[in-house]
Chains A and B, each alone.
Chain A
């Protein structure tokens, strides 16, 4: 059984070069969407079926002309990707069982099984999964499953020039991340934190991050908001059952009442 692998993305050393995006598109033969011209050199916009990697540019530069060194917080960059959640929302709702865990414990969508119902898109809390109009199925980062099977490093990690994206055994990455966080905090970066390192978010993430600010700043749900879709199953069905029961009772009263009157007058 292969060891569980992961990505550790250290956003503190991301320079926004987008080599990861390019390498990912090259390897996975993704033509990409028409370029967008958004704030901060972002020309992909979001993760979707054509962008398995997306470098976020989070502009926190103050409007004031008296700009001081921002300790890495003035303009945050983050190479975003599927988180390969231990407890994956997409996998939970998928009715066709097209979404599976691989032998590397990564989350993989089988394109030949998916029928394009898109329920996973409504479930993924990170907005990772996109619908491929040409293929008629959904798709997202495969964690370079084909490269893993050939003992190769995933394309994005291979291409990253600053080692912001690190690939390896998840247990080793956890140790590296802990050491890096401790070093940053010792340097006074109080807001630095690990996201998805422990099980507080979807049981732990296969692709976890070192963030320089709160998760919400990076458009990531915090531990309080990171919930599985199934949380509403019991309450949803109970509400429906009770309403249906009251509805049947109301129907009984209406039909019996008027039926009795009808028979009496007849």
Chain B
């Protein structure tokens, strides 16, 4: 059984929000690329929404990280070593925070270019250049790293719960994809009619992401159990959180239970999607809130008992 005598780093609201929004920024960028690569031309509208959101979210992520520092004006010390006699770049691949700082910077660059691309496009122009597709694919690799490394930051510590499980990185990326799919499905509601089909596709994808998230939660619990630390997650305040998290899966699991497929019918020349999911937008919001609670429970349960 693992024994811990460590102090908590007091990572609280800013870090929780950063982990949450970094997941949505990275997940949205990845899903937008997937829609461009494998979706129909109609999905381009939602892909643009995702690219439009990814960059502002990355900026907010940087602000949240900076606010959380004890010395916010020294945020650049993450990248530049100011040790007298050792001035140069700070790059420690074995330190997830160091790697993540560079990843956030790099992702911001990818997101910024994609943001400019969609902002300068004309409304009905659905053509995407080959160069931009390559850019999106490379950006998605960084985006997935951004969505997942936050979990590895927690695992690479000596805190109880965090260091007792190596599944948190996987759990965070699965939940980030789920929240992003729900976020884009929700946002696509405010687009033109042909975004309705995309919304349904994203809801179907979200169902599978939630299943993946469920598997990673089981892996998280099993690793904690092996370390004799599962009791920390099942203590009363956190148990309520887990109940809410599992409850947030219900809309997505209903999609899967309904066959996980969306039925389409042609009507008046336009394609309309028959939503298997409740289709009110509430489902998407529940999924997103559930992912926020997940970040909250994992971060706080290790620090406060």
Contact = CB atoms under 8 A, between A and B. Distances in A.
Best-surrounded residue of A98, A129, A138, A251 (most CB of chain B within 10 A)? A251
A9 to B, nearest CB: 17
Given A232-B166, A255-B205, A263-B40, A125 B152 contact: no
Contacts of A151: none
Given A96-B90, A118-B11, A239-B167, A257 B204 contact: yes
B40 to A, nearest CB: 5
B107 interface: no
Interface in B149-205: 149, 151-159, 162-163, 166-174, 177, 181, 197, 200-201, 204-205
B216 A137 contact: no
B133 to A, nearest CB: 15
Contacts of A220: 5
B170 A117 contact: no
Q: Which residue of A117, A219, A225, A263 has the most chain B CB atoms within 10 A of its CB atom?
A: A117
B204 A116 contact: no
A95 B40 contact: no
A95 B98 contact: yes
Contacts of B82: 96, 112-113
A124 B38 contact: no
A135 B266 CA distance: 66
Contacts of A96: 74, 77-78, 81-82, 90
B71 A232 contact: no
A127 interface: yes
Interface stretch (A12-20, A180-188, A241-249): A241-249
A258 B177 contact: no
B284 interface: no
Contacts, number: 249
A253 B212 CA distance: 14
A196 B237 CA distance: 38
A150 interface: no
A176 interface: no
B208 interface: yes
Contacts of A118: 9-11, 70
B232 interface: no
Contact of A227 (B30, B158, B162, B177): B158
A243 B205 contact: no
Contacts of B157: 93, 119, 122-123, 229
Contacts of A266: 264, 266, 271
Contacts of B92: 95, 97
B158 A123 contact: yes
Contacts of B262: 258, 261
Interface centre among A240, A254, A261 (most CB of B within 10 A): A240
Contacts of B266: 265-266
A256 to B, nearest CB: 5
A203 to B, nearest CB: 15
A114 interface: yes
A229 B95 CA distance: 9
B174 A243 contact: yes
Given A118-B10, A127-B7, A244 B271 contact: no
Interface string B1-19: 0111111111100000000
B97 interface: yes
B31 interface: yes
Contacts of A114: 70-71, 74, 77
B148 A258 contact: no
Interface string B25-51: 000001100110011101100000000
Nearest to A46: B7
B38 A243 contact: no
B173 A247 contact: yes
Given A116-B69, A261-B261, A252 B38 contact: yes
Contacts of A123: 6, 156-158
Given A95-B92, A138-B70, A251-B209, 12 more contacts: A48-B7, A96-B77, A118-B10, A119-B95, A121-B8, A230-B94, A232-B156, A236-B168, A237-B169, A242-B170, A243-B169, A257-B261
19 contacts: A93-B97, A95-B90, A97-B86, A115-B71, A117-B97, A118-B11, A122-B6, A122-B11, A123-B157, A136-B69, A221-B4, A225-B4, A244-B173, A247-B212, A250-B211, A254-B201, A261-B261, A261-B262, A265-B265
Interface of A: 46, 48, 89, 92-98, 100, 110, 112-119, 121-127, 129-133, 135-138, 216, 219-222, 225, 227, 229-230, 232-233, 235-237, 239-244, 246-248, 250-259, 261-263, 265-266
